[in-house]
Structure 1
Amino acid sequence: MLSPFNLPDGIFLLITDELSSPADFLVHRTLISHIKEAKNAKSVVLSVSEGIERWKAIAAKSNVSLSQHITTGAVNFVDVMSHVQSSLDSGQPSLRPLFDLVNASLQSHDAPSLVILDDIASLQWIGFSLLDISRFTRALCGICRKANVTLLIRHHNVTPEEPDDLFRHVLHLCTYHLEVRPLSSGRSGSVSGEIALHPGMSTPPSAVKLIPRSSAIQYRLTDTGAVFFERGTGGGVL
């Protein structure tokens, strides 16, 4: 699903990042890989804070025309704000329209095999309560799991040393937790950050190799994405 982590399909992958080490490249990499590698792949992208033009621009760097895939129906790009703004304006915030949209997609004959929610923290910032988001996430996870669809959710970790209640909630639901962090030693010209892979509360026994913080994979961002390498290997690409 997402190299070099070799994760299986049909999981709930939680990706967390921090202000100094945003995980945009992993979220976009997942969608692009899905489009390129999965035959007749369908996907739903629920984007809270990034507009379609940014998604198109990043995909173009990997020679993927997102516009074309949206036109053919391979990618259903959903501007979350356009679907929830009226409920926010009315003073009765509701994520039901988003859930109904994804549920309808999963019930169709050409159902998607990937659902991306980018990002869940912004839902809280724009006015949804922890209870609203928790119920929505649990329901979304449930229908994706039932349909054996891969669910990817990104959460911005504003206080990494003091995880918030929303993080605890999604951690309880996820299969794996991919943690993107800045270098503990500070900024480096050749290393952009590091990534650890942890089990979630619903992780089954499997052959997936977990990556603790002590042996985190490092990465360097490039114009077209990112390269990954083992710590101390001088940037040898995995």
Structure 2
Amino acid sequence: MANADPDFSNRPSSARIYDALLGGNHNFAADREAAQGLLAMIPTAGDMARANRAFLSRAVHYLLDRGVRQFLDIGSGIPTVGNVHEIAQRRIPDARVAYVDIDPVAVAHSNDILKDNPWACAIQADMRFPDAVLDHPQVRRLIDLDQPVGLMLVAMLHFVTEDSAYEAVARLRQALPIGSYLVISHGISDTPADAKEAEVTALYRRTDVSAAHGRTRDQILQFFGDAELVPPGLVWVHEWPDGGDGNANGMAVVAGVAAL
């Protein structure tokens, strides 16, 4: 696999760290080392990654049940086992999925996985510039912005700085028609994991992102704008969509889905 950076395998990436936490095989030694470092700081990091992946699966099924047939997954990482196209196309073979990630290596891995799939693609883009995402030729080829879209921002907004995150998400919401849905999971502050924020941020600064920080529930709710959250609202990631008793079980990630 060609890449412009000859040292890419020696520099961890957020996407490949996530893949390593999930037990995937699309990662390098540097990513596995970073994942182990993250687990040393936050022992539940692997559990959170798996809970987040399970939430993604439930959210995709929820959207399929409501007639959504196309998905824009931003900050997608590497679409290994259990990702959006696999879940959606198992039920709807021509469901369309456009993956977007900032990491060129993750995108190269993704396109290798998707090379025989005419209904899915992966592009390299920065979500802080949403028009570049929305106007990308491959996104335009697959995603019809006149039809409902499932916008997936799963475990990625905590890697986007405050000054650009809200504006970018608002622009993406604005571009989508009625009948679309916004799916978000996000690291939350004021948990035991939040005490490690400085160390976690230092780890991720070695990767393709410059920040890794939780937000409060109120701050996360702002990403949904005026959109109506479906029950049970913004809850711990492992509790959606059934709610629960509020026991975080070591989680530091919340999730919600809103109808646009």
TM-score by length of 1: 0.47
Bigger share in helix: 2
TM-score if structure 2 supplies the norm length? 0.44
Structure with more relative contact order (C-alpha pairs < 8 Å, separation 6 or more): 1
User: Which structure's residues are more often strand, by fraction?
Assistant: 1
